[in-house]
Structure 1
Amino acid sequence: MAIDSDIIGFVRKHVRSVWALELLLLLRRDPARRWSTAELVRELRASTSLVEDNLRRFEASGLVAREDKHARYAPASPVLEAFCVRLEAAYRKRPVRVINLISQPAEPPAESPEAAERG
């Protein structure tokens, strides 16, 4: 199973680590649940700073809502929800492939012909 290029783009933009992926999928399992940072730290066996950093990123990306020091999965659009569904399915079927994708550095943007000529 190949990972679609749009999922690769979603991962590159929103999921910076396997910890982040695990956090997103944990929140997604029970969208109605409001988690405190301490609960997420305990559940994931992660540091407070790691959880907080990823929650801030997910909130800014429209994947998580934060209210009264609690966070819950709340994609801002059906498109974001669809990406999360597909990412979770890919992770279930091919976890190593998804982990490798997350771990690989992003490819640098292609240099424009004009910039190459100046170079």
Structure 2
Amino acid sequence: MLSDDALIFLQHSIKTVWTLEILLILRRDPDRGWSPEDLIRESRSSTLILQEVLGNLGRAGLIAVDANSRFRYRSATPALERLVSEIAAAQSRRPAAVTKALLSVSSDKIQNFAEAFRTGGRT
């Protein structure tokens, strides 16, 4: 479904379903500048969620902010664009599989945390 590079990027840079959703909203019309209010309305999210998402996307090099404080999709490099294109294509074909791949990193962390208590000092 996703290359190893795209999967790693998805799990470590996109991180949340909200971030993926808003990334895809921005990407579908990269020439449009989105106000925070527009993004909240379109994604049915909240101000708090949007702040976290925009922080994630900014750190990942995937958005630009114009002089009017509107957000646009802008990939910082062609390599990032290829990863985002691969993720977007997979999301359109198999959204449940992409969501599962995205969330699997969280499940792994929870499992590792639980394992630490199961094996830690009990005999």
TM-score range normalised by the length of the shorter chain: 0.7 to 0.9
Query: Cα deviations across residues 19-78 of structure 1 (Å, max 9, x unaligned)?
Result: 111100000001111100000000111001111211122112110012332110000111
- Aligned residues between the structures: 107
Q: Counterpart of 2:29?
A: 30
Greater fraction of residues in helix:
2
Shift of 1:10: 0.8
Gaps of at least 5 residues in structure 1 are 109-119
> What's the TM-score once normalised by structure 2's chain length?
0.81
Q: Counterpart of 1:94?
A: 94
Gaps of at least 5 residues in structure 2 are 110-123
Q: CA contact under 8 A between 1:59 and 1:66: conserved in structure 2?
A: no
CA distance in 2, matches of 1:6, 1:80: 10
SS of residue matched to 2:72: strand
Identical pairs, percent: 35
Runs of 4+ that moved beyond 3 A: none
CA distance in 2, matches of 1:56, 1:32: 20
Shift of 1:8: 0.7
Shift of 1:3: 2.1
Query: Cα deviations across residues 74-111 of structure 1 (Å, max 9, x unaligned)?
Result: 00111111111100111111111101011122556xxx
CA distance in 1, matches of 2:7, 2:59: 19
Q: Counterpart of 1:81?
A: 81
> What's the TM-score once normalised by structure 1's chain length?
0.83
